[in-house]
Amino acid sequence: MKRTFNHTTTRYNTDTGGNVGVMFAISAALLIGFLAVAVDLSRGMSAKQRLQDTTDAIALLAAKDKSLNTPAKLEAAAQALYDATYPGQTGVRIEIEDIVRNGDDVTVVAKNNIDAGFAQIFNIGNLDVGVTSTASFAELSLDVALVLDSTGSMGNPISGRGRRGSQTKLQGLQTAANNLIDTLENADNDNIRLSVVPFSQYMNVGQMNSRAGWLDLNGADEANWNGCVGSRLNGRDESPREAGGQIPALSNVDCASEILPLTKNLRSVRRSVNNFEARGWTYIPSGIVWGWRTLEGELPTRVAAAPATASEHKKVMIIMTDGRNTRAKDGLTHEGRNVRGANSKTASLCRDVKSDDIEVYTIAYGVNDTPTLNLLAECATDRTKFFNAQSAAALSTAFAEIGSTLSVLRINS
C-alpha cells in the first residue's frame, strides 16, 4: 500500500509539472507578445514626435513666408520639407491631409502610416500616427536686457582651478551670448533691441553721463570718476525710473564694463559683450535694477518707445550669475556684508520686475550654493525659464534654448 501511494504521488507530481510547463509557455508567449507590441508602440510614439516636429517646422515656414498664398504652393513647400526630413526611407508614408492659411495662421494636418514590426503577430500590419500644428506670424517688438555677471570670479577657469591657459568662465559666457545674438539677428525681425548690463559690485554707467541730470557727482571726484555708481536711499534703489532723486556717483571704487542701453545695432551689442572684464565682487540687485531701467527706456539714456506698428511688444530680462551675493547695500555704497539682506533685495526686485510684465530668464553658471540656486529659480518667470548650467556647453545650451523661444513665430497647437 505504501508503494502504491508513493507511486500515485509521483505520477501526480509529474502531471502537475506538465501543467506548469504549459502555463509557463503560454505566459511567456503572452509576455513576449506584449513586449513586442510595446516596442512597436514606442516606435509609433517616436515617429509621432518626429512627425510633430516636422509639421511644426512646416507650419512656421508657411506662416512666415507670405508668398505661399495658395493651397498648391503650401502643399508643395510642405512636401519638399517632408521629403528632406525623410529622405529615401522605407516603411514611411507621409500624407498631408490638410494645409490652410487663415490670415496670419497656418494649420497643417499630417499623417504617417508606418509598418508594424513585432505587432504583426497580432495581425497588426501598420500603425497610423496623426498630428496637427498651427503657427502664427506676428510683427513682434522685442526688447531684451542681458544682465550678465562680470565679477572677478568670471576670470577663473570653468572647471575650477584647471590648467593654465584653459578657457575661463567669461570666455564661455562670451561665446554663448554671441550665439544668442546671432539667433536673434537671424530671426528676420527689425524690431529687436538689446541692452547689455554687465554687473559686479557696482554698475558702470559710463563717463559720458557725468553731466546727466539724474547723476549726483557731489560726493565723487569728477576728475577721477570712472563711471561707477552706487544706490539711492529709502528704497529708491529698487525703482527703475528717474524720478526719486539723483543716483550717487562714486570714486575710488571698482566696477564692471560699461552698460549699453537698448539698441538695434547688434554689432555694438557684440562689441560690448566681447569687451567684458572680470572684476569686482557680486551684488546681483545692481544688475537687476539697471537691467530694468534699460527696459523702461529712461536710464541711463532715453530710448525710443516700441514701434506702434508692432502687434505685440515683449520685454525680456536674462539674468546670469556664477555665484552668490558677496556684498550688500550699505548707505549709498555696496560695501556691506549682509548677504541675507542682498538676497532679500534680489528676490524683491525679481518680483517687481515680473509684475512689470517683463519675462525673466535666469541662469546659474557653475553655482553650487543651494540658496542662490533657489533664489534664481524663484526669480525666473517660471521654473522652465531657470537654467542650472554647470559647464560652458550647458551655458551655450541655455542661451540657445532662450533664443529659440524669443521668436516672431509661434506654435499655437
Each residue's pLDDT tens digit, 59-104: 777 777 778 878 888 888 878 877 777 776 655 677 778 888 887 7
pLDDT tops 60 at residue 24: no
Distance CA 267, CA 178 (A): 10
Quote the Cα angle for 276-282-287, to 5°.
65
Structure-model confidence comparison of residues 82 and 332, the more confident one: 332
Tell me if 253 sits within 8 A of 202, measured CB to CB. yes
Query: What is the pTM for the complete model shown?
Result: 0.71
pLDDT at 89 (0 to 100)? 61
Domains of the chain as residue ranges with CATH: 2-137 (no CATH), 140-411 (3.40.50.410)
Please give the full DSSP string across 9-72, using - where no structure is assigned: HHHHHHHHHHHHHHHHHHHHHHHHHHHHHHHHHHHHHHHHHHHHHHHHHHHHHHHH-TT--SHH
pLDDT tops 70 at residue 333: yes
pLDDT tops 60 at residue 11: no
Distance CA 85, CA 283 (A): 48
pLDDT tops 70 at residue 15: no
Distance CA 52, CA 105 (A): 17
Residues 327-351: what's their mean pLDDT? Answer: 97
Question: Please, which pLDDT band fits residue 378 given cuts at 50, 70 and 90?
Answer: very high
Structure-model confidence comparison of residues 24 and 345, the more confident one: 345
Please give the full DSSP string across 74-131, using - where no structure is assigned: HHHHHHHHHHHHSTT-TTEEEEEEEEEEETTEEEEEEEEEEE-SGGGGGT--EEEEEE
Q: Which residues pair with 197 in a beta bridge?
A: 147
pLDDT at 8 (0 to 100)? 39
Residue 238: all three cell numbers together: 529698487
Query: For residue 94, how far is the Cα from the chain centroid?
Result: 32
Each residue's pLDDT tens digit, 199-254: 999 999 999 999 999 999 987 888 889 999 999 999 999 999 998 899 999 999 99
Tell me if 396 sits within 8 A of 354, measured CB to CB. no
Tally of CA atoms within 13 A in the half-sphere of 225 that contains its CB: 25
Distance CA 333, CA 315 (A): 29
Each residue's pLDDT tens digit, 49-58: 777 777 777 7
Structure-model confidence comparison of residues 106 and 15, the more confident one: 106
Residues 193-197: what's their mean pLDDT? Answer: 97
Residue 181: all three cell numbers together: 545674438
Residue type at position 64? K
Average pLDDT along the chain: 83
**Ramachandran class of 123: left when φ > 0, alpha when ψ lies in -120 to 50, beta otherwise:** left
Nearest CA among 182, 193, 361, 168 for reference residue 276 = 168
Identify the weakest region by mean pLDDT among 30-39, 301-310, 334-343: 30-39
Question: Please, which pLDDT band fits residue 141 given cuts at 50, 70 and 90?
Answer: confident
Beta strand pairing status for 328-330 and 260-263?
unpaired
Question: Please, which pLDDT band fits residue 310 given cuts at 50, 70 and 90?
Answer: low
Structure-model confidence comparison of residues 14 and 287, the more confident one: 287
In 192-305, beta strands by DSSP E: 192-199, 203-204, 215-216, 228-229, 247-248, 260-263
Tell me if 135 sits within 8 A of 63, measured CB to CB. yes
Contacts of 288 (CB under 8 A, 6+ apart): 147, 317, 319, 346, 349, 350, 353
Contacts of 257 (CB under 8 A, 6+ apart): 150, 198, 204, 272, 275, 276, 277
pLDDT tops 90 at residue 292: yes
Distance CA 224, CA 216 (A): 15
Residue type at position 277? E
Identify the weakest region by mean pLDDT among 96-105, 188-197, 305-314: 305-314
Beta strand pairing status for 215-216 and 192-199?
unpaired
Nearest CA among 145, 141, 196 for reference residue 306 = 141
Distance CA 234, CA 244 (A): 10
pLDDT at 294 (0 to 100)? 97
